[in-house]
Every structure is written in structure tokens, then in C-alpha cells.
Amino acid sequence: MTAAEVDVIPDSDSDVAEVVDITVDSEDEVAEVNLSASPPLSFHGYRRGRELGQGGSSQVFVCSKAGSQVGFAAKAVNLRRLQMSPDVEREWKKLCREVDIWKKLPVHANVVQLVDSFQEGSWFLMVLELVGGGDLFTVLTSRSTSRFLDREAAFVGNQLVQGLAFLHSQGVVHRDLKLENVLVASQRRAYSSGPLLYSVKITDFGLSRVLDPTASDAQSTVGTHPYCAPEVLGDGSHSFSADVWCLGVLLFALLSGHFPFNAMPGEQADLDRIIDSCSVVEGAKAVLMALLQLQPALRSSLSDLSSHQWFQEEEWETMKPLKRHRTLSNSDVGGNPPSISNMEAIPPVNGQLAAHKVAASPVLEEVDTSQHSPVDSPFPCSPFPCESPMPCPSPLPGALDAEGVASPGVWTPFAVEVAVKLSDVQSPNDLQSDHMQVHMVVPDRYAGFILGKNGTRIQKTALKSGCKVWMTSRNGSNDRRVIMIGSYKQCKVAQQLVHEQLSTAMQVEWQDAQADILVFVRSEAAGMVTGKQGFVLNQIRKQSGAQVQLLRDEVQSTRPCIISGTLQSILKAQKHIFELVRAVPIVTGPTAVGTGSSHGAK
């Protein structure tokens, strides 16, 4: 698990309590909770922000650096906890190998970049570029239909071919390419109502190896079970062609919504029939058959794949530029992990980690798979022959899914706002990533009080807060909305003023009055707010006390987010969300994706 993957499954309830509270306005007010068990708050010019998750001996959080407009993700490895692992030597070698590979990789558009690494006390920290769109597994399973359109899958596949070709040119075999290890950096539509095109990056080199092309294959059984190539499951032989097989399984999952099989087919003809029976275009079938060959020598090369017609049917570079693209400042990557002798000198951690079952594909780490029985996966598999795509299970009536979206027909505080009017939503300003847009619901009968005579009161609200403030026009019997655009602090003041006025009109104490707010999250940062399996969003709910729902549908390149509760709880939730979104900065201008044409040395 790497920082960029943002694995957000906690090991215990006590771990969740270690989340840093960032709802205060001043960075000086951020309190360190249980310092002895938490990564350093400040380290080598970086400052720790909100926790994104934990796993094993590491945890992940957002961090910032003074003078940089770019946020980062940091993976903090607890060396004390690592020392307590059953096989400390193996875990230590994995960490050293991961850091060494990442440090030696030049910059590439489709590979997550390591920015810094160093030891700080009993923690080893890896600072990575922050990729805020979530992983492909989360993106795929949160869509209304759990499958990509043909052009969507081809666009992602083209980038993965480029990314893998780059890694192989550096002698690196990934050995664990899967949906969870591909992160979404940005997204766009080629045209109105067209396919949704995701810009992606490969991450997680925890199981990777540097493989000498002239040497024999690496002999170890590693990877994630549904993706493992037949030779890996057989004798543990792991070459570059095993990554090609993983790519085939991944593309099959994107196109069909399920894995190709439960058990490895014994004959190539059986596997070909599985592919041929799927409802995909002939070009996609040809690519899948070229990738999913039981014999490694018969699999297509990445260079041949890059020129395949299925990937070239659209001239991606001539399409509209990505609506947003993150940039990463160049930085020399820092130190290596400390020597194992130094690590062993660290006193052990008291307590025992609670076991936590995660609904994810099992990872095989250099073990004999002959002792493993077939495993269940959260992602459906297809028996032979290929079944029709399986949709995501619907939540129970009244329940919220992983992103906090209510079941169809369930009343929500913002039921009338689900279909947000495009005319009321301002197009995001790419040059003001620290700005936010807030809509506050005002019952129509109190609209006149908020406006004041000839609009004088709402004008004073705008002047006092420093942000743009206006009210939507009357539309039948629907409630009105006060729209505010400005910095977080400006919008906070405006909300406080409007809420106080509304409480006065309703003759209730403002502290007790409930409010409904709509904020807009930049689409490429939505994965940061949600987190894997909704972990981050659930933590925001718990820490703020507000009801928070992140809607799936986009509005003007943003995802509407509904927040309901007392004003105090709403502002806390907004602060959490704002800090996460602000950590994913934006720049304007077109960016070629997946070409891999430039990757200079660090």
C-alpha cells in the first residue's frame, strides 16, 4: 500500500482517533493527538494535514510544504510496528526495494512520482505527488453501471500501455498491476454527453522488482489473486509478460464489469471463448485475446499494443484539453531508509493491532499458492461462458452508499436540489483553487428578510464577508438559495451572517437552527473527499456531526456535496472538505496524456 493509493482501512478504532483535526482556522491551532503514536506534525519543511488512512505498519496523510502551491501525499511507515511484524527481514527488504525503485524512476506522465523520502524519529516517510481522483476500482464500482464504455476503457488502456512500457524500459516489473493500483489524476468529456476520459497513473511498487532483461525470471509468487498470470500461480516465474497478463485482466474488468473467470482455464480455447462471448467491440476482443494468452511467449508486446487500432481509433491529443491537470514541482528525492541496525534499536510499540477484514482482493506475497484455495473477491467473476455485466448492489431503502448517496426515492434534506440548475452554478475559476462556492437553502417565506428592502441586507452581507453573495430568483413554490463565492473564511462569515438572519426570522436560537448547504467539489479531487470504501467521508461525518452526501452527477466540472445539520457542524465539514480539495491544485492549459514522450531525470 502506498500513499498515493490512499488505502483508507483503519486497523482499529483507536487508530481512527489519531486523525488530526484541521477544522481550526490557524495552522498554529492544529493539535497533535497522541504524539507518541502519530507521525511527526512537521518534517523537513512539510506539514502534516488530514489523515487519509492506515494499513499494516503505515499510514497515509495529506501534507503541504511552505512556499508550494501543490499538495502532497505522504506514506509514513511506523518502524516500531514494522519491527514487530512476523517476518521483519522480508518487510524491511520490501520497504528498501520500494524506495530504491521509486527513487531511480524518471518522471513519467502515467506513473506516480516520488518527491522526497527520509527518516524522522521512528517513522520513515515517503512524500509522493498527490493524485486526488481515487483509484480505478472505486471509480468503476461507484458508477451507475459498473463498466466503462469502449472509448473510456481504450483511453485508460492506452495510458497503462505507455506507463508499463516505461517501467519495463527501466527494468522494473510491477508484479501487482490492478484496478486499486491505478489512480485517476483528472477527467474530461471528449464532447458534450461523450465518454468520460480519465487521466491515470500507476502506483504502488511494494511488490515490484528490478529485472535484468538478460537474467532469468524472478522466482516468487506475488501479486493479487484474480490478476495473477498462470505462470506466477504455477511455478512463481515472474517476467515482464506477467504485467501484460495483468493488464488484460484489468481491461476485461473495465469493459465487462467483472473478472474473466473464477478458476484459470486449462486451455487457451476456453479463454478465447470467454472473451469472444463478451459484449464488446471486435477491436477490444482482439486486444484482450492478445493480452490474455496462457503462454507468456504468445502475449503481445507493449510496443505492438501501442499501435493497435483499438487504441488509435481516436486522436486523443486533438480532443479538448483536460479540464484540469495537476503539476508537481521538481524536488530532489531525499534519504534512504535507515539501516536495519538503527531500526532494531527502536523500542517496541506496546499493544496489539486489531485484525480488520478488508473487502479487497487478496495479495500474494512470496508464498506457495498451492496451499491457497480459490478466494472470494468484492469484484464479481464470470464463470465460463461470460455472463452479462453485474451492476453494483443497490443500498437498502434509506441507506447511503459509499459516497453518501441515498437510494432512489429516499427523501434527503436536499431532495429538491439533486437536479442543480446549471445557470445557478458558476464555472470554476482555474486561477483561484482556494475559492469555494456555497449554496444555502432559504425557505421562500423568509427570502424577503434575508434580502432586506431593495436588497440592502444581502448587499451588506456581501460587503461584510468580502465574497460574492446573491439570491436565486423565485421558481414556483421551491425554496430560494443564497449563493456565496469566495475563500473559505469569506464564505464562512457570509454563512454565519445569513444563518443568524434566518434564525432571527424563524425566531429560533441560531445555535440550534438546522441548515442545508450545497458545496461543489472539483471532480478530480472527489476521490480525496470520498476515500477508499468511503472511509474519509465517514470520518468527516463523525468529526463534524453533519450529514454529508457527495452526489455522483457532475455540474460544471464539479461534484455537488450536500451538507445538513447545525451551522457549527456544517462549517466543520466544509473545512475538512476544503482542505482536501485545496491540496489538489490546478493549472490551465492542454496536457497530452499517456504519450510518455517526456520523462526527464529528477
Decide: 152 and 102 in contact? Cβ < 8 Å: no
Q: Is 160 left (phi over 0), alpha (psi -120 to 50) or beta?
A: alpha
- Report how far residue 545's alpha carbon sits from residue 547's, in angstroms, rounded to the nearest whole number: 7
Q: What is the CA radius of gyration of the chain?
A: 25
Note whether 317 and 344 are within 8 A (CB).
no
Is 75 known to sit in a ligand binding site?
Answer: yes
Q: C-alpha cell of 500?
A: 443568524
Rounded Cα–Cα distance for residues 449 and 302 (Å):
66
Considering Cα of 488, then 489, then 491, then 492, what sign does the dihedral take?
positive
| Whether 140 contacts 251, CB under 8 Å | no
DSSP three-state, residue 485: strand
Strands (E), 17-148: 42-43, 46-55, 58-65, 72-78, 114-120, 123-129
DSSP 129: E
Residues 221 and 549: their CA atoms lie apart, in Å, by 41
Distance CA 504, CA 506 (A): 5
Q: Are 303 and 311 in contact (CB under 8 A)?
A: no
User: In terms of DSSP bridges, do strands 123-129 and 435-442 run parallel, antiparallel, or are they unpaired?
Assistant: unpaired
β pairing state of 72-78 and 58-65: antiparallel
The answer to whether the bond into 385 is cis (omega within 30° of 0) is: yes
As a dihedral over the C-alpha atoms of residue 515, residue 519, residue 525, residue 528, rounded to 10 degrees, the angle is 0
Cα–Cα distances in angstroms (integers) from residue 407 to residues 65, 400, 567, in the given order: 41, 7, 26
Close Cβ partners of 283 (under 8 Å, ≥ 6 residues apart): 308, 309, 310, 313
Q: Which residues are annotated as a binding site?
A: 75
Q: Which residues are annotated as a binding site for ATP?
A: 75
